[in-house]
Chain A
Amino acid sequence: MAAITENDGMMRAADGTPLKQALARATRMNKARAFLLTTPLLAFILVTFILPIGLMLFRSIDTPEVSAAFPKTLAILQEWDGNDLPGEDAYASFASEMQELASDRDTRSMISRAGTRLNYIQSGFRSLMNKTSRRIQRVEEPPFKEAFIKIDKRWGEADTWKTIRQAGSRYSTRAYLNALDLTTSPDGEIVAQPEIKQIYVTLFERTIWVSIGVTVACIALAYPISYLLATLPSGTSNLLMIFVLLPFWTSLLVRTTSWIVLLQTNGVINDILVWIGIVGDDSRIQMIYNMTGTFIAMTHILLPFMVLPLYSVMKTIPRDHMRAARSLGANPMIAFMRIYLPQTVAGVGAGSILVFILAIGYYITPALVGGQDGQLISNIIEYHMKKSLNWGLAAALGGILLAGVLALYWLYNRIVGISNMKLG
């Protein structure tokens, strides 16, 4: 139907409804159907991706243990000026809360959980709490202050109580501070961890450098291969493509362990070097269970993620472009630098961001071939998840990693533009 223009200047359909409204009505059905088709995936992503990440990130700031176990004591400690020791009322309430919790089998574990939380701040706190909770049962009448100090003289130090007061806040950013090798003094100032406990920043730095190194190595290796793939006749290039994709069809574990076979001290490569006589039998090169091993294996495993976007971009560059540049008087070097390379930037960017993001969170390869100094941040996250059970810290480390990746993504979008990213 022809649209007619009313006096108000709005385009109207033949029946007088505004044209935009008519259009919306006509397309509503299609939009609803399209949305319906995406709902299973949407629900799946929500349940398996967004929700777990959200919960884990929440855990990194969630510190309920101490405030749940000793609410009354904490209320009294809030009033305390922090100069001297707290008054008798604090000791009394702490004793009664401990006795109450310990009397019931169901609540007894809350004391040790609070102890664990306090132990993250001040080591030795867990045993102090366990010892105190056992002994305080027998103390039935005041003065509780003396009784506590008799059990352990740390109860006579203001810092101990300050630590409890600090740990008593329901939410805290302590895990993030710890993840950055920082802590708080009992008075609440942010200070650096003692040098012996500073490991995470070094690990973050190492992870970033390894990721950058792996990305650069992947660019250097993948660029010529992708160029060949894109320019060879299709028969040969298909065969080459299979070689590139072959690792994708092989288990990650198998690929990593085969590097162990190749690189270990009595492995294939060392044997060949000794046989040729390049290195002596007693000075075999240590290529695995260190950074070298991590680097080599990660580069190999992540290479296809660089080749595929590069290939897909190079495939779209007509052969005539280089020819045109040559015929216009550019030597092969200038033609490559000024005509070919700029057109592959989108592919290099896409491949780099892919490889870097995968590398920064890489876990299994460093775990298997990294040894001591080839461990990356993901390995320490795993340690806190499975061994030390400090999930808050693990979540904070993961959160920082996530923030870093998002920042990188933002930066890439600003510089190259995400719509220019070609993944194939």
Chain B
Amino acid sequence: MANGNQPFVQFKNVQKTYDGEILVVKDLNLDIENGEFLTMLGPSGSGKTTCLMMLAGFETPTQGQIMLGDTELNNVPPHKRGIGMVFQNYALFPHMSVAENLAFPLEVRKMSKAETEQKVNRALDMVELGAFGDRRPGQLSGGQQQRVALARALVFEPDLVLMDEPLGALDKNLREQMQYEIKHIHENLGMSVVYVTHDQSEALTMSDRIAVFNDGKIQQLAKPADLYERPDNAFVAQFIGENNRLSGKVTAVNGTGCTVEVAGNAVQSLKVNISGQGDTSTLSIRPERVQLAPEPGSLPNIFDGKVLELIYLGDHIRCRMSCCGDDEFIVKVPNTHQHTSIAKGDDVRVGWEIDDCRALDA
């Protein structure tokens, strides 16, 4: 459907308001490639679900265009868009059996009975529910219902499938299992998926690219690893994974690096999202990149710290410290044979590399 270098789905300057006063989506531009698994990640009220609903056709953009291939979608009713959708609470039709649910999209497309039956069976086998065709949705467990919903969105072979927090109602183990299952189905069938969630680990597990939403805007659009390791701004750094934040003032800028003064300590950091000297900045340091008791001089940033609290978590120990004026400074100590033994109240030096310390907006 997408030809050449034209993106498969394109949001062009899309804005959306419900009440004419507050923009829930502010000037959104987003290209989705063919066959891509793109996740819209963000806190509730960030506009991600609204974007999905506009793409599905249940909301109209106040301003701007949404393109699917060469067609402008704005005035195409939902049933003519040919986009599969999986809803948060599955939205299975309770008065129909599982097989009838799956046959519904094929019947409204006036497909022949034999072909319908064949496709329904194939879709049921794909989600390993071949024996459940005659059951009512109410007789299935949550995970099974979710798979039926998935199969129903895929049975008519759409090029694009939207998923609106589909795993939100499942318990943790089942959710993780389903994440892999959806990922594998995507790899096998090769359709494009736009997935909405507020769960960052879900987004990191499944996506090709993640668009982090906040306040009606995309804060960053990147691959999972980039998003985690190279956040563009303080919101993304805070939202994805755990993060130590140190607030300070930029005192010097030199090439790709800069010096930020935090509570009297000069911290050498990577210049990412500051305009220049005199700016206030938030430094972002991942807890697992902080080293305990480094050799003096081995790292550019070494400061004094004091252990306030230790929490044993099995694979690692969470150590809450006071460092650079921050009492919530977290260090993750891996639970290995040679890990430094520390106790509450100890004075320990901590240190980190310049590359692991990103100077972001305040």
Task: Report A's interface with B, CB cutoff 8 A.
Answer: 318, 320-321, 323-332, 334-335, 338-339, 342-343
CB-CB under 8 A for A324 and B85, given A318-B91, A339-B93: yes
A329 touches B82 (CB 8 A): yes
B109, CB-defined interface residue at 8 Å: yes
Q: Which residues of B contact A327 (CB under 8 A)?
A: 56-57, 78-79, 81, 83-85, 153, 162
How many chain B residues have a CB neighbour from A under 8 Å?
A: 28
User: With A and B bound together, what is the CA distance between A324 and B108 in angstroms?
Assistant: 13
Q: Which residues of A contact B108 (CB under 8 A)?
A: 328-331, 334
User: With A and B bound together, what is the CA distance between A12 and B108 in angstroms?
Assistant: 58
User: With A and B bound together, what is the CA distance between A134 and B82 in angstroms?
Assistant: 96
CB-CB under 8 A for A321 and B79, given A328-B105, A328-B156, A334-B108: no
A312 to B: closest C-beta gap in Å = 16
A330 touches B91 (CB 8 A): no
User: With A and B bound together, what is the CA distance between A329 and B153 in angstroms?
Assistant: 11
**Which residue from chain B places its CB closest to the CB of A326 in the assembled complex?**
B78
B222 to A: closest C-beta gap in Å = 29
B94 to A: closest C-beta gap in Å = 7
B87 touches A324 (CB 8 A): yes
Main SS at interface, chain A: helix
Q: Which residues of A contact B104 (CB under 8 A)?
A: 325, 328, 330, 338
Q: Which residues of A contact B152 (CB under 8 A)?
A: 324, 328
**Which residue from chain B places its CB closest to the CB of A334 in the assembled complex?**
B108
User: With A and B bound together, what is the CA distance between A342 and B78 in angstroms?
Assistant: 22
Interface string of B128-159 (1 = CB under 8 A from A): 00000000000000000000000011001000
Q: What are 24 A-to-B residue pairs whose CB atoms are below 8 Å?
A: A320-B87, A320-B88, A321-B91, A321-B93, A323-B56, A323-B58, A324-B87, A324-B93, A325-B93, A325-B104, A326-B58, A327-B56, A327-B81, A327-B84, A327-B85, A327-B153, A328-B84, A328-B108, A328-B153, A329-B80, A329-B82, A329-B105, A330-B104, A339-B93
B97, CB-defined interface residue at 8 Å: no
**Which residue from chain B places its CB closest to the CB of A324 in the assembled complex?**
B91
User: With A and B bound together, what is the CA distance between A322 and B93 in angstroms?
Assistant: 10
User: With A and B bound together, what is the CA distance between A328 and B156 in angstroms?
Assistant: 8
B87 touches A343 (CB 8 A): no
B29, CB-defined interface residue at 8 Å: no
A318 touches B79 (CB 8 A): no
Residues B85-106 near A (CB distance < 8 A): 85, 87-89, 91-95, 104-105
B109 touches A329 (CB 8 A): yes
Q: Which residues of A contact B95 (CB under 8 A)?
A: 342-343
Residues B49-74 near A (CB distance < 8 A): 56-58
**Which residue from chain B places its CB closest to the CB of A341 in the assembled complex?**
B95
B89 touches A318 (CB 8 A): yes
User: Which residue of the partner chain, among A323, A331, A342, A343, contacts B85 with CB atoms under 8 Å?
Assistant: A323
B156 touches A320 (CB 8 A): no
Q: Which residues of B contact A318 (CB under 8 A)?
A: 89, 91
Q: Which residues of B contact A325 (CB under 8 A)?
A: 93, 104
Q: Which residues of A contact B85 (CB under 8 A)?
A: 323-324, 327
User: Which residue of the partner chain, among B79, B83, B89, contacts A331 with CB atoms under 8 Å?
Assistant: B79
**Which residue from chain B places its CB closest to the CB of A323 in the assembled complex?**
B58
B91 touches A326 (CB 8 A): no
B271 to A: closest C-beta gap in Å = 46
Q: Which residues of B contact A324 (CB under 8 A)?
A: 85, 87, 91-93, 152
B197 to A: closest C-beta gap in Å = 17
User: With A and B bound together, what is the CA distance between A60 and B350 in angstroms?
Assistant: 100
User: Taking each of B58, B88, B156, which has the highest tally of chain A beta carbons within 10 Å of its own beta carbon?
Assistant: B58
**Which residue from chain B places its CB closest to the CB of A345 in the assembled complex?**
B95
**Which residue from chain A places its CB closest to the CB of B105 in the assembled complex?**
A328
B91 touches A320 (CB 8 A): yes
User: With A and B bound together, what is the CA distance between A326 and B94 in angstroms?
Assistant: 16
Q: Which residues of B contact A338 (CB under 8 A)?
A: 104
B89 touches A329 (CB 8 A): no
Other contacts beyond A327-B78, A327-B153, A330-B104: 16, CB < 8 A = A323-B78, A324-B152, A325-B104, A326-B77, A327-B56, A327-B57, A327-B79, A327-B85, A327-B162, A328-B105, A328-B108, A328-B153, A329-B82, A329-B108, A330-B105, A338-B104
User: With A and B bound together, what is the CA distance between A321 and B93 in angstroms?
Assistant: 7
User: Taking each of B79, B89, B105, B162, which has the highest tally of chain A beta carbons within 10 Å of its own beta carbon?
Assistant: B79
User: With A and B bound together, what is the CA distance between A332 and B108 in angstroms?
Assistant: 12
A323 touches B91 (CB 8 A): yes
B193 to A: closest C-beta gap in Å = 14
Q: Which residues of B contact A323 (CB under 8 A)?
A: 56, 58, 78, 85, 87, 91
User: With A and B bound together, what is the CA distance between A342 and B94 in angstroms?
Assistant: 10
User: With A and B bound together, what is the CA distance between A342 and B100 in angstroms?
Assistant: 14
User: Taking each of A324, A326, A343, which has the highest tally of chain B beta carbons within 10 Å of its own beta carbon?
Assistant: A324
Q: Which residues of A contact B109 (CB under 8 A)?
A: 329
A343 touches B91 (CB 8 A): no
B87 touches A326 (CB 8 A): no
B336 to A: closest C-beta gap in Å = 47
Q: Which residues of B contact A329 (CB under 8 A)?
A: 79-80, 82, 105, 108-109, 156
**Which residue from chain B places its CB closest to the CB of A342 in the assembled complex?**
B95
User: With A and B bound together, what is the CA distance between A331 and B81 in angstroms?
Assistant: 11
User: With A and B bound together, what is the CA distance between A320 and B143 in angstroms?
Assistant: 18
A348 to B: closest C-beta gap in Å = 14
Q: Which residues of B contact A330 (CB under 8 A)?
A: 79, 104-105, 108
Q: Which residues of B contact A335 (CB under 8 A)?
A: 79
User: With A and B bound together, what is the CA distance between A329 and B85 in angstroms?
Assistant: 11
A343 touches B84 (CB 8 A): no
User: With A and B bound together, what is the CA distance between A321 and B88 in angstroms?
Assistant: 11
User: With A and B bound together, what is the CA distance between A239 and B79 in angstroms?
Assistant: 33
A422 to B: closest C-beta gap in Å = 14
**Which residue from chain A places its CB closest to the CB of B104 in the assembled complex?**
A328
Q: Which residues of A contact B153 (CB under 8 A)?
A: 327-328
**Which residue from chain B places its CB closest to the CB of A335 in the assembled complex?**
B79
Residues B113-127 near A (CB distance < 8 A): none
User: Taking each of B57, B82, B104, which has the highest tally of chain A beta carbons within 10 Å of its own beta carbon?
Assistant: B104
User: Which residue of the partner chain, among B57, B88, B93, contacts A326 with CB atoms under 8 Å?
Assistant: B57
User: With A and B bound together, what is the CA distance between A323 and B149 in angstroms?
Assistant: 13
